[in-house]
Amino acid sequence: MLPRLTLVLGGARSGKSELAERLVLNNGQPAVYLATAEVYDKEMRSRIDAHLARRGPLWRTIEAPLNVAGPLAAATDQEVVLLDCATLWLSNHMLAGSDLAAEGAALVTALRGCRAPVVVVSNEVGQGIVPENKLARAFRDAQGRLNQQIAAAADLAVLTVAGLPLVLKGRMPG
């Protein structure tokens, strides 16, 4: 059984989304996918299509590039929610000129208040070199703060590296 809030972190192509999807499906309840990606080009369309094909018909998908609080509030305790991913959600808010601290706090409040178990996927972006431009540095810093907030609220936090899960907090179900 999944805990109320799970955070799955990892770098690009680390296996974090696949792990998160398995955790949700293994819970045995209807799966809700909160998709935060927006299609800006053919490459992103291809990525989204690949995710849709991998998930198949077992998922109810809700497009939520900015407003995830509404779908989280509407979820029932008979479902499991996957938010994929907090990184794209944050970048959407950054591009929209939102107050990132306020949005992050509101997200954590919405995650804590959700009646369904929630699995959040997020990128670990702070392990590389310091970005050379101000916008990239601001994003890296905001992502690190958001990951810390979600991890503090989470019952389970897992870092995925090379497809392997490393439990940072809590205990993996099963």
Give the residue numbers annotated as catalytic, written as ranges: 51
Nearest residue to 159 (alpha-carbon basis) of 113, 129, 127: 127
Beta-strand relationship, 156-161 and 164-169: antiparallel
Sign of the C-alpha dihedral computed for residues 10, 102, 35 and 6 taken in this order: positive
Element (H, E) at 45: helix 42-55
Tell me if residue 31 falls in helix, strand or coil.
strand
Residue 151: both structure tokens together: 């991890």
Residue 139 tokens, joined: 């994003």
Contacts of 37 (CB under 8 A, 6+ apart): 44, 47, 48, 65, 85, 88
Residue type, 119: V
